[in-house]
Structure 1
Amino acid sequence: MASLGTLFGVELAKIVRRPMTWILVVILFGFTVLVYTSLILALVSGFEGNVTVEGAEGQSFEDMILLPDGFSLGVGLAQGVGSVLLAILAAGTFGSEFSWGTLRTMLLMRADRVRLLIAKLLVLLLAVVVVMLLGAAIGLFGSLVAGIVVDGSLRTDQWLTASFFRDAARLMLIGMVYSTFWTLFAAALTIVTRSLAAGIGVTMAALFVGDFTTSIIAGLGTLGRWISRIFPNTALNALSTGTDLVATDWAWIVTNLVGYTALMLAIAVVRFRRMNMISGGGG
């Protein structure tokens, strides 16, 4: 029986060798670099004025790009765009194996099903970490370049502080939670439906249409706000945008996300263990 470490190594090698993985990495890298390049060029051209972003109305364009605030832009791109790409990767990790029949080969080699599932999920979790680190690195580098463009310095006196690193760590952690949830969501859906298209399609609908729907429900008053808290979108958005969360806020956010995560993991494990059609043996 293959150990969890062995299965993790196999799954990691498989995901690294897939062209789709590198295509998604290039898309994330290219998009993030394009955004920062466009913003820096706007600074060079002398653009001035304020921009309106959630949680920072009236923030100047320059402050939005330069450190310390500029770091959150890169993390935000990794969280937003990266979550979409990670969901596609998660669905592809399971969906393509169902269609190619490679899972059958793994199980016929007496790979324990639960260990195999855990190994796949751990590889996807590692992908989440890599995406967030990539976004943070590009954000930090882009903001430093913008600082040099503006006044010819790295502006370390304005951001190289303990509070900056605390805020950066918080942003990274929140981004990882957000991306991990949608990655797991896509993986669980693909396992249940055994369909790559369904895994990606339903996840994208839940992510984007869900945000729109819950915002409408929350706008219906007090009852609407309570109803909207049933959905994971509301908890994830509150976690991402909330800076003054109190104990009661944390209580419903944690309960919501932990509950949905536990439910998805349970469904994925049960469904994966009962897939008799992909193996002639046990697992």
Structure 2
Amino acid sequence: MRPILAFEYFKLRKWMTTWILALILVGLIVLLYSVLWSISGQERTFGSHNQFTSEDLRRALFLQSAVPFSLSIVGSFGIILSVVLAAGAVGSEYSWGTVRLVATASRGRIRMIAAKLAMVCAFIAAGALAAVIVGVTYSAVITFANGGANLHFVTGSFLLDQLESYLRTLFVIAPYTALAFSLAVIGRSTMAGIGGTLGLILVEPIIGALMREAGGWWHEVPRAFPNSNLQIILAQNKLPDVLPRFGPSEEELARRGAYSWELAALLLVVYTVVFLVLALVAFRRRDITTG
């Protein structure tokens, strides 16, 4: 299995799209930090009741909140990039006409698809970690530039919280990554994976909002949507209230009657497993002699 993993690693590392996606994610982190740092230099107030000042915003950009804020960006916008990576990694084999050759060299279809999926997951985890490193570095610049260099908050429990936030973020990316991977396998193309998954990401909140407005039993349906449960998990990553949130708050989720985070996690696991099983079954049964 190790040679197959090394081969898939080599392909993803040499694939230009991988580096473009990484640059987009890093650039987004830098852009948002730059904009917020600029805003924090203005004399103004923020919040629905103007309860926050520019000083509050600047302090929220300090190191203590760097990891969860960076991960909130990854958990919201990084999902789209992970979808492109997952769909492209498997769909490109069909577009290049190399799927039969690679499957033969891997000595089995399942070994090939498992190695490809493992490398996609590894690159996504590395990308999320790179985003955190960039966010922490930029936050360190802001912290030291504003005289907030006290690191007394760095304790064992604090570091454990940051690790849990990182793992939660990777966890919520998994269902959509698995869906993109599965659709690319079933549709034999990168565009099937990207188009189908991004279409779902786009329409889920819209359809969910309409169903909640309809009331009755319709109101209960969106609670089972992947996006609804993803937001429940992401809400566990604590952010200062003054920082922008890219999803509903815990209060908003409670008003919607959201599930507990344990049930939300279970549903996301079920979605991920179902999508991956569909991909494996489809690829195992498919005639790939024609590519």
1:267 corresponds, among 278, 287, 290, to 278
Structure 1 partner of 2:185? 191
Residue deviations 1:67-87, cap 9 Å, x none?
Answer: 323432211112222211111
C-alpha distance in 2, partners of 1:78/1:208?
17
1:102 and 2:103 correspond: no
Separation in 2 of the partners of 1:218 and 1:225? 4
Rounded Cα–Cα distance in structure 1 between residues aligned with 2:195 and 2:47: 33
**Where does residue 165 of structure 1 map in the other structure?**
159
CA distance in 1, matches of 2:60, 2:219: 30
| 1:82 and 2:93 aligned | no
Amino acid at match of 1:77: I
Residues 1:73 and 2:69 aligned together: yes
The 8 Å contact of residues 66 and 135 in structure 2, kept in 1 or not, is answered as: yes
1:188 Cα shift? 0.6
In structure 2, do the counterparts of structure 1 residues 69 and 225 end up closer, same or farther at CA, with 3 Å as the change threshold?
A: farther
Give 2:231's aligned residue: 237
Asked if 2 retains the 8 angstrom alpha-carbon contact of 1:230 and 1:256, the reply is yes
Identify if the C-alpha distance between structure 1 residues 110 and 82 changes in structure 2 by more than 3 Å, giving closer, same or farther.
closer
Deviation at 1:261, TM superposition (A): 1.5
What amino acid is aligned across from residue 36 of structure 1 in structure 2?
A: Y
TM-score using structure 2 length: 0.83
1:175 aligns with 2:166: no
Identify the range of structure 1 (87-96 vs 28-37) with the bigger mean alpha-carbon deviation.
28-37
Rounded Cα–Cα distance in structure 1 between residues aligned with 2:82 and 2:173 = 7
Residues 66, 132 of structure 2: 8 Å contact kept: no
For the Cα contact (< 8 Å) 1:101–1:278, is it kept in 2?
Answer: no
**1:228 aligned onto 2:222:** yes
Counterparts of 1:125-144 in structure 2, within 5 Å, are 125-144=121-140
TM-score (normalizing by structure 1): 0.85
Taking a change above 3 Å as real, the CA distance of residues 120 and 147 of structure 1, as seen in their structure-2 partners, is same
Residue of structure 2 in register with 1:49 after alignment: 45
SS at match of 2:63: coil
Q: Does 1:249 align with 2:285?
A: no
Q: How far off its partner does 1:51 sit?
A: 4.2
- Secondary structure of residue in 2 paired with 1:277: coil
Cα deviation, 1:9-61, whole Å, max 9, x if unaligned, reads: 11010000111111111111122112212222333x33442246xxxx95842
Q: Taking structure 1 as reference, are residues 241 and 215 closer, same or farther at Cα in structure 2, changes over 3 Å only? A: farther
Task: Please state if 1:217 is matched with 2:211.
Answer: yes
Q: Is the 8 A contact 1:72 1:139 kept in 2?
A: no
Question: Contact 1:72–1:168 (CA<8 Å) still a contact in 2?
Answer: yes
Whether the 8 Å contact between 1:71 and 1:143 is mirrored in structure 2 is no
Separation in 2, partners of 1:238, 1:168: 17
Deviation sequence 1:112-140 (CA, Å, 0-9, x none)? 10011110110011012112111211221
Between the two proteins, the alignment pairs up a number of residues equal to: 268
Supply the AA of the counterpart residue of 1:111.
R
Question: CA offset at residue 275 of structure 1?
Answer: 2.0
CA distance in 1, matches of 2:264, 2:46: 32
The root-mean-square deviation of aligned C-alpha atoms, in Å, is: 2.5
Q: In the aligned structure 2, how far is the partner of 1:9 from the partner of 1:265?
A: 22
Match of 2:150 in 1: 155
Q: 1:186: how far off?
A: 0.7
Partner Cα separation in structure 1 for residue 129 and residue 171 of structure 2: 14
Uncovered stretches (5+) of structure 2, i.e. residues with no partner: 238-249
SS at match of 2:280: helix
User: Compared with structure 1, are the counterparts of its residues 48 and 65 closer, same or farther at alpha carbon in structure 2 (3 Å cutoff)?
Assistant: farther
Give the whole-Å Cα distance in 1 for the aligned partners of 2:189 and 2:9. Answer: 22
Instruction: Answer yes or no: is the 8 Å Cα contact 2:4–2:106 preserved in 1.
Output: no
1:107 partner amino acid: A
Structure-2 residue corresponding to 1:119: 115
